[in-house]
A = this chain, B = another copy of it.
Amino acid sequence: MLSPIQRFIDVFSRLPSLGPRLATRLAFYIVNQEKSKREELISALSLLNNITRCERCYFLKMDTAKVCDICGANNRNPKKIAIVEKETDILSIEKSGSWDGHYLVFGQLPEHGVLETEHKLRLSKLKLRITHELQGSVDELMIALNPTTFGDFVASVISEEFKHVAKKITKIGRGIPTGGEIEFADEETLKSAFNRRI
């Protein structure tokens, strides 16, 4: 195999959902493109270098910006903060138009285990944000972690830790997803769906 192709496969097959088979296919596809198309890919990839984390909420921002678009927006309520695991969770929530507050990107949780230093750091940062910028309290802290056993445990730890600086602490609702079937829902989901009936 030509060494640039081998190198491409080695490096790109490490990306999630890619693997050696698809990486090989991509390598040959890209080689067969016009040079200008390849340059387009290179430049799109290089542009990602201009992105860093918002130091306030850990969402992404342009490195030239002071804070991210959400922290910087003046039509959002900074006294409402949703804690999510991943940046892409924010994209989904924003697309649904169901939150006009700010966020904290908490970092992905392992399936079980303990909180990492980074998670703890982000929680202390959030506390500092509430103390220094928000007069010591928020109106709502919404915990939108993925509903796993460990996620639930972490949610209760966070609730406990923030109960004196949040007027209201909420968790994301659980139930049958739209389009889902009651027949196939697991016991825990059904229990939540009945308890939270509207």
Contact = CB atoms under 8 A, between A and B. Distances in A.
Copies per assembly: 2
Interface string A55-79: 0000011100000010000000000
A7 B49 CA distance: 13
A89 to B, nearest CB: 10
Give chain A's interface secondary structure class.
Answer: helix
Given A16-B29, A29-B15, A62-B2, A8 B49 contact: no
Nearest to A51: B31
Interface size class of A (residues with CB under 8 A): 35 or more
Contact of A47 (B4, B45, B61): B4
Interface of A: 1-5, 7-8, 10-12, 15-18, 22, 24-31, 35, 38, 40-42, 44-51, 60-62, 69, 86-88, 91
12 contacts: A1-B91, A4-B48, A7-B44, A7-B47, A12-B41, A16-B29, A17-B25, A24-B88, A27-B48, A28-B88, A30-B45, A42-B42
